[in-house]
Every structure is written in structure tokens, then in C-alpha cells.
Amino acid sequence: METQDFVITHAELSNKEGMSLQRGMNYRPGDKEYSIFLMSVSPDAPYNDGFDAENKKLFYEGEDVSKREKAQPKEHDQPFFTKTGKRTNNGKFFKIAEDYKLGRRNKPEQIKVYEKIKNNVWSDKGFFYLTDAKYEHNDRENRKTFKFVLEPVSSHTGLSQEEYEDFEFSRRIPTEIKRIVWERDEGKCAKCGSKENLHFDHLIPFSKGGSSLDPKNIQVLCGKHNLQKSDKIL
């Protein structure tokens, strides 16, 4: 059975994690053993997040200064420290990435990633490792911004890390394809019309040559029909 993109509302996301998540970057909320990033690659998204399929990486932009401090946050460098000298979320995660690169911690920070597809529609992307961070001048915006680099966590038994990364990024359904499929299937299971426990599913599995880039090969299924389909394939 192939890994699926689970579709949930923001309320379900918060319930799943046991807390209401409002910020994009969340360092080990509720004393969890992992951190949480909320991301979006929509054209109108406030930050420049994205996937690099060729190099098998996810790029996550840091947070802007609060509007309470600056009326036009996009005109200012993304902050490393607060006014009181404490590290911002940017600063916390930058230090975590640096500590890993410099050998001051044995393992990279594990990040659970949720991607916003459209208003109140989110996709559970699974776990990634925070392996690098940069704080550099953004020529397009004429300011300094953070860029956090995340790589997939290998969890497929029998696959090497490189094999898993190739598999994961090749089978990833682009956000725009998800939007097209979601609208076409009217946000419900293509088989029974259920709006509960939904997934984006390949009609022809990626492992059998199915495409992640063709909306005709993607459908929305509920958990019941996804399992029935998997049983038939197996």
C-alpha cells in the first residue's frame, strides 16, 4: 500500500496534534518530540515555501517581524532576536540547524509538515529532517530572510535513504494538481461522497507507473474505499 496524502481541516489538524496551531513554525509544542511547520506553496502565500524535486529538498521561509512591531513587515529583515534579546522562532530553528551541521547534536530536528491546499483544507506531508538553514539577502524583496532546508525522513523498510528520497519526491502530488482534483471531486470521496477521512489517491499507483502530474490519475477517496482499492491491488 502506498503512502497517501491525508486531507484534513485546520480543526482536525489541531485536534490531531492536541492543540490549536496558529503560527507557521512551532518548536516542539506541548513537549512533543518533534516540531511542526505549517506551509503553503500557493501563488498568494505570504511566504516563499517550496519543494525542490531535483535535489529532494523542502525549503521553508522564516517568519516576518510582527505587525505589532512593524506596520509593513515585508519591508524589514526577518528577525533573529526579539526586542528583549530572546531568539525568535527563526533564531531557534537556525541554531538547531547550525548545531547539527557543526556536530553539536547527533540527530537533526524532526519536523512534522502540514501543507495548506486551500482555505481550511490541509495535507499531512509527514516527517522531515531540518538539515540546514541560511540567513541571507533576498534580492527580490531587498531584505534578509531565513531559508530552512528539510529532507525526507526515511521510513520505508527495505529502501535506502537515497532510494526513499527518490520515491518520495517522485510520487509527491503537486499542490496545483491537488487543487484541481479537490475542485473536480467537490471535496468528497469519488466513490461514495463521504467527506470524512479523505486522501489524495493515485488511480494507477506510482509504483506501477502511474503519474502524480496528471489530474486524471488522481482522485479523492475516503479511508474505507482507499483500503478496498489497496486490497485489490495487493
What is the rounded distance in angstroms from the CA atom of residue 113 to the CA atom of residue 123? Answer: 9
What is the rounded distance in angstroms from the CA atom of residue 206 to the CA atom of residue 172? Answer: 10
Contact in structure between 152 and 168 (CB atoms under 8 Å): yes
What is the rounded distance in angstroms from the CA atom of residue 227 to the CA atom of residue 221? Answer: 9
According to DSSP, the residues that pair with 118 across neighbouring strands are: 121
Torsion of CA 70, 77, 35, 109, to 10 degrees: -160
pLDDT profile of the chain (234 residues), mean per 10: 68 93 95 96 90 83 96 97 96 98 95 92 90 96 97 61 52 82 94 91 82 90 82 50
CATH number for region 10-172: 2.30.280.10
Domain with CATH 2.30.280.10 in the chain: 10-172
* pLDDT for position 103: 96
* pLDDT for position 18: 94
What is the rounded distance in angstroms from the CA atom of residue 195 to the CA atom of residue 74? Answer: 38
Pairing relationship of beta strands 109-118 and 35-39 according to DSSP bridges:
parallel
pLDDT tens per residue across span 86-103: 999 999 999 999 999 999
* pLDDT for position 130: 97
Contacts of 11 (CB under 8 A, 6+ apart): none
* pLDDT for position 164: 53
* pLDDT for position 7: 86
